[in-house]
Amino acid sequence: AQSVAQPEDQVNVAEGNPLTVKCTYSVSGNPYLFWYVQYPNRGLQFLLKYITGDNLVKGSYGFEAEFNKSQTSFHLKKPSALVSDSALYFCPERQRNNNAGNMLTFGGGTRLMVKP
Amino acid sequence: NAGVTQTPKFQVLKTGQSMTLQCAQDMNHNSMYWYRQDPGMGLRLIYYSASEGTTDKGEVPNGYNVSRLNKREFSLRLESAAPSQTSVYFCASSHRGKTQYFGPGTRLTVL
């Protein structure tokens, strides 16, 4: 079984500063970890995922995430935030389903606000 | 390659009316999903289809029906709409249950 948590409802950061959106997990076995972003009035967009391999995963729009086994974390990061990065970010929980493969459960997400 | 498309983008219904939300994907994906998103909440799975010809209930299936018309298309039907079904509806697809790709959503208001 796998569960994830996003401990922050909202993150505020100034434009140009580095940003981090946190996700922690607990799993028995190998984790499958994802990040999605939802821009205002839009559908969810896939950013990146970790299944196996390099702990640093690079994704879309300059985002990356580091899989840290010792801290059981998969935080989303970007070196320099843009106002346009303001959005809702989801680290969904994955469950295996015999019929449909990976089933994702999306919590409330973390709202990122980047201020000019 | 349009990805996942949904129609309509917006819809207003009166209580008791019926409608069908359409979803199509051109990525040759096996699995398709319907979610709803309410204000301040995450997405909740309504129904999913692991493959053509199969459908299964998700977390909140009451008041909805689905049809997997073919590999490309997965529709969601509200037989008798209720105000509690006011929400934004998202369709998604994936290849054999891997990464899910989402459509732009349908914003539904039931008066």
Kind of pairing, strands A2-5 and A24-27? antiparallel
Q: Which residues of A touch B44 (CB under 8 A)?
A: 106
Residue A3 pLDDT exceeds 90: no
A70 touches chain B (CB under 8 A): no
Which one, of A92, A57, A73, A94, lies nearest residue A23 by Cα?
A: A73
pLDDT tens by residue, A56-74: 999 999 999 999 988 999 9
| A100 — pLDDT class (breaks 50, 70, 90) | low
Q: Which residues of B touch A46 (CB under 8 A)?
A: 99-101
Quote the pLDDT of residue A83. Answer: 97
pLDDT tens by residue, B53-110: 899 999 899 999 999 989 999 999 999 999 999 999 999 999 876 789 999 999 999 9
CB contact under 8 A, A102 and B98: yes
Residue by residue, what is the 3-state secondary structure of A90-111?
ECCEEEEECCCEEEEECCCCEE
CB contact under 8 A, A102 and B94: yes
Q: Which residues of B touch A110 (CB under 8 A)?
A: none
Residue A29 pLDDT exceeds 90: no
CA distance A33 to chain B (A): 10
If you measure CA to CA, which chain A residue comes closest to B59?
Answer: A105
Cα separation, B40 vs A62, whole angstroms: 27
